[in-house]
Structure 1
Amino acid sequence: METINILITLDENYLTQLKVMLLSIKQTNAGDKFDIWLAHHSISETSGQQLAEFVRKLGYQLHMIHVDVDVWSSAPTLKQYPAEMYFRLLCGEYLPKTLTRILYLDPDILVINPIKPLWTLDMKNQMIAAASHNGLTGVSQTINNVRFQNKNKYFNSGVMLMDLTKMREKVKLNDIISVINRHAKRLILPDQDILNYLYSDHILSIPEEIWNYDTRDNMVHFTKSLGNIDIPWVLENTVILHFCGHPKPWEKRSLNRFAILYQHYEQLLRLNYGKYY
């Protein structure tokens, strides 16, 4: 059985959300084998051991990779955008050379249908496969075209299937640092902006409504599809629900239509794996 390799980059603040996401994978991909690769800088040994034990309970294997954060000292960071967000850009350097493909997932995600069709996707000789969130009018896309002075789609970095062989060839630290030094004040979503500025020509576009469904845009999807993409359609066809923006579904003030589904998986974590919650 082929192993599906999942990459996550985060700090201790998102460990519970990571566990919810991994549990959702287990619930909807019971017949598949997963290896989980976690690139981090500051997760404690105790937290790492507990996470590894939880991952083993799911039947998966956890690989913890400590990354030196000093190289990113010049990169813009915020509380919601810690230094760990940059690790995915250079993941080819941190991961074993024996790995040639990996699927990066943000921790604020639920996987609600089988993910293997994405893992086995023909990437058509591109370096990355990702989705764009264009909204109803496409205004944000136009703004990003002006910002980056190109006509390419603006891709969301929260779900990325990556060809690591090509990443190791094309993605260079000096190029990334150069963009940061020249355009730091213009970077709104820092690592995502860098990804699009440098590498959008090497990204294969995949359908957002299947592989990276922005849960804030429920009415956008419904309207653009002339009413075809409704809640039953999402539950049957969408694979990845992405809880972009704020408030998050684990916050009490969340009014997200899909928050109750997230809270359902959170409840399963509490009930069945309370020791790790």
Structure 2
Amino acid sequence: MGSIKMEVLCACDKLYLPHAATMLCSLLEHNSITRIHFLYYSINQHECAKLAAFVGSYGSKISFYEVRTADFDGLRVDKWASPAVYFRLLAPKLLPADLHKVLYLDSDIIVRRSLADLWNTDISGYALAAVPNFEDDARKILGLPDGTKYFNSGVLLVNLKFWRQYYVAEKAIGFVRENPDKATYWDQDALNATLVNKWIELPSEWNWQVLPSDPRLRLVPEAAVVHFVTAEKPWHWFSEHALKGEYHGYRRKTPWRQLVSGSVPWKVSRFLRDSARIIMPRRLRTMLRTYVG
């Protein structure tokens, strides 16, 4: 590992805890992290202790911040998202005041190598650095000026000093409250609407947004961060995602390695899934993919 020390932010609820742990495993396998700042709700102390011990086994530390979901009452959520999608907006308020930069990572991510070069990106005078998103429709719905790009919020190098000085979080939350019909992608839309011309574009290697069977993965081995952006995730029973094996390779190193589809043991889950793949029509499997975890 390199000598670069990084401060990392992540957030989730109890449903996504195994996936957050998997992301952190991939991160810690390739990076030296000073501290992980973990924003959460609906996770009990026993589970937090397991995560802390797991992170500690890599020589890193983790700080826990329990979030009150009441702070987000009235903000748009749906079957695809819980209030946890807004938690990163609390970073300027909850994280130490002397911390001026943090790297935010979504839970549905795999880190494949060192993020030192990403961490060293100069974001002086800007709110954040991010990779553009392929969602052109979202850009149009938000009414962003012509030529303005739209970033994906799954990987953000955040200038906390800028956020505090210009009340970025407050403005983003205000946008969602005032424009629920435009905030299709929750805080991501809000940040894009709030930070026009106030962010730096990163190369796609830092947030490679892959489709389940994306052939480009085989052509871009240098992708440092892979982001599972579609509704089909590699942990779904019937998923045929190209990186399903890579995800589970990290998952099995975590304390949640056997937690697949509730309390079903991993080997039993695999047997049932493979049997269903043989007897169940492909169309039905496709429909069920996004509903069976």
Instruction: Specify the TM-score bucket, using the shorter chain as the normaliser.
Output: 0.7 to 0.9
Tell me the residue number matched to 1:112. 112
Q: Does the 8 Å contact 1:50/1:276 carry over to 2?
A: no
Runs of 4+ in 1 over 4 A off after TM superposition: 217-220, 273-277
CA displacement at 1:219 relative to structure 2: 4.9
Tell me the residue number matched to 1:6. 8
CA RMSD across the alignment: 2.4
Q: 1:110 to 1:101 in 2, by over 3 A?
A: same
Q: Does 1:24 align with 2:26?
A: yes
SS in 1 for 2:179: helix
Q: Does the 8 Å contact 2:14/2:41 carry over to 1?
A: no
Q: 1:202 to 1:90 in 2, by over 3 A?
A: farther
Considering Cα pairs closer than 8 Å and 6+ residues apart, tell me whether 1 or 2 has the greater RCO.
Answer: 1
Identity level (%): 26
Tell me the residue number matched to 1:225. none
Q: Does the 8 Å contact 1:215/1:256 carry over to 2?
A: no
1:213 aligned to which of 192, 208, 212: 208
SS in 2 for 1:201: coil
CA displacement at 1:264 relative to structure 2: 2.0
Q: 1:171 to 1:90 in 2, by over 3 A?
A: farther
Tell me the residue number matched to 1:185. 181
Tell me the residue number matched to 2:80. 80
Tell me how far apart the structure 2 counterparts of residues 215 and 182 of structure 1 sit (CA, whole Å): 32
Moved more, 184-193 or 145-154: 145-154
Q: Does the 8 Å contact 1:211/1:238 carry over to 2?
A: yes
Q: Does 1:33 align with 2:43?
A: no
Q: Does the 8 Å contact 1:74/1:180 carry over to 2?
A: no
CA displacement at 1:27 relative to structure 2: 2.1
* Residue correspondence of structure 1 range 204-243 to structure 2 within 5 A: 204-208=200-204, 210-216=205-211, 219=214, 222=216, 231=218, 233-235=219-221, 237-243=222-228
Q: Does 1:150 align with 2:128?
A: no
Provide, for residues 107-159 of structure 1, a one-character-per-residue CA deviation record: whole Å limited to 9, x for no partner.
1111101111111112253110001122xxxxx42652353242321110000
CA displacement at 1:180 relative to structure 2: 2.2
Tell me how far apart the structure 2 counterparts of residues 180 and 33 of structure 1 sit (CA, whole Å): 33
Provide, for residues 151-202 of structure 1, a one-character-per-residue CA deviation record: whole Å limited to 9, x for no partner.
3211100000001100111235543343223211222111111011111321
Q: TM-score, normalised by structure 1?
A: 0.84
Tell me how far apart the structure 1 counterparts of residues 140 and 164 of structure 2 sit (CA, whole Å): 27
CA displacement at 1:24 relative to structure 2: 1.0
CA displacement at 1:55 relative to structure 2: 1.1
Higher fraction of helix: 1
Q: 1:201 to 1:195 in 2, by over 3 A?
A: same
Which residues of structure 1 form unaligned runs of 5+?
135-139, 223-229
CA displacement at 1:214 relative to structure 2: 0.9
Tell me how far apart the structure 1 counterparts of residues 9 and 174 of structure 2 sit (CA, whole Å): 25
Q: Does the 8 Å contact 1:14/1:107 carry over to 2?
A: yes
2:247 aligned to which of 250, 259, 262: 262
SS in 2 for 1:186: coil
Tell me how far apart the structure 2 counterparts of residues 116 and 193 of structure 1 sit (CA, whole Å): 28
